[in-house]
Amino acid sequence: MIDLHSHTTASDGTFSPPQLVDEAVRSGVRILGITDHDTLSGYEQALPLAPPAGLELICGIELSTKLHGHSVHLLGYFLDPLLHLDGFGVFRTWIGDLQASRRERNVRLVARLRELGLDITLEEVQKRGGGMTGRPHFAQVLVEKGYAGSQQQAFDEYLDESAKGYVTRREPEFAEAVGYIRKAGGIASLAHPIRIREDLSEILPELCAAGLNAIEVYHSDHSPEQTGRYLQLAKQHGLRITGGSDFHGAAKPEIHLGTGRGGNLRVPGDLVDRLRAA
Ligand code: AMP
Ligand code: FE
Ligand code: FE
Ligand code: ZN
């Protein structure tokens, strides 16, 4: 089994890198892509554990980008630190800047929530998020403190782009992020396209012109019909295909590594060979 979309405690997953490697083995996943938000550190921690576990690891990342002012998630794959490409060093520095902008945003987000009367501190949130604290960790704290009934309610009321607590952070433009991934020797894949819009065909030419290499056809949020449609679009536009569960551990308990939501995910066995061949 193949799963090219997963998160560890290095971002907003609840499985540490060693636990994720164990989970892959337990679930029968043979090739695993770790795609933490804005960081490669989960992949790097898991890397030495993979060969003894008989697991092939693929270096990935998930970036939040902006397209016409809307948030679009982008996956980068085969960003291999061991290749020593110049572009990789530049990429690493660049994601360091993204991490810094996130930390600075978190300070303002705490201030904003306190202004709204919530008793919450940066320390509390960072305790859950570690080096890569994000809004999902804020949501956890809001639930624990009784300010929201669920993490989704915390987003709806306070943290979503349209909610009263939202503060902006610098997110790179879509084309900029694609450029950095490609110069680092990676390939750029559009994450869970269903979250952008049902009908992608109108914006795909623009995304391709920006240098997009692939789309995430297989994902836990896609119905069989949607998967079929994205497959067709990928063919039409000469895009490669990626796929994965978007496993976050207990943060999204309904999603299982390798098999998705109630077994709705089946990433084709030759997908990674096809990605590499192209
Ligand atoms: P951040 O990168 O810290 O701004 O947090 C972004 C993450 O929060 C995304 O990757 C999603 O996992 C989650 N998220 C963003 N908006 C929502 C929403 N409206 N409902 C639930 N989760 C969301
Ligand atoms: Fe996430
Ligand atoms: Fe995502
Ligand atoms: Zn993800």
Give the separation between CA 54 and CA 30, rounded to whole angstroms: 7
Helix (H) or strand (E) holding 226: helix 224-236
The whole-angstrom distance between residue 207's C-alpha and the CA centroid of its chain comes to 18
Tell whether ligand 1 has an atom less than 6 A from the beta carbon of residue 39. Answer: no
Rounded to whole angstroms, the Cα distance separating 14 from 174 reads: 28
Ligand 1 atom having least distance to the Cα of 136: 8
Angle between the N-to-C axes of helices 86-115 and 174-183, in degrees from 0 to 180, rounded to the nearest 10: 140
Q: Quote the pLDDT of residue 263.
A: 95
Question: What residue owns the CA closest to ligand 1's atom 19?
Answer: 160
Inter-residue contact 34 to 62 (CB < 8 Å): no
Starting from the CA of residue 245, give the closest ligand: 4
Encoding tokens for residue 19?
A: 């636990």
What is the pLDDT averaged over residues 182-198? 93
The b-or-e profile of 205-228 (16+ CB within 10 A means b, else e) is eebeebbbbbbbbbbbbbeeebbe
Q: Whole-angstrom Cα distance, residue 229 to residue 115?
A: 45
pLDDT digit string, tens, across residues 78-97: 997 777 778 899 999 999 99
140 C-beta neighbours (distance < 10 Å), count:
20
CB 60 within 8 A of CB 35: yes
The rounded mean pLDDT for the chain is 95
Q: Are strands 70-77 and 187-190 parallel, antiparallel or unpaired?
A: antiparallel
Which pLDDT value is given to residue 149?
Answer: 96
Q: Give residue-wise pLDDT tens across range 149-184.
A: 999 999 999 999 899 999 999 899 999 999 999 999
Residue 83: predicted pLDDT = 73
pLDDT at 197 over 90: no
Q: Where residue 76 falls among pLDDT bands split at 50, 70, 90?
A: very high
Pocket mutation for ligand 1, best pick of 141, 155, 169 (most atoms within 8 Å of C-beta): 155
- Which residue has tokens 């270096």? 59
Higher pLDDT, 39 or 131: 39
- Report how far ligand 4's centroid is from the alpha carbon of 206 (Å): 23
Instruction: Give the integer Cα–Cα distance in Å for 212 and 190.
Output: 7
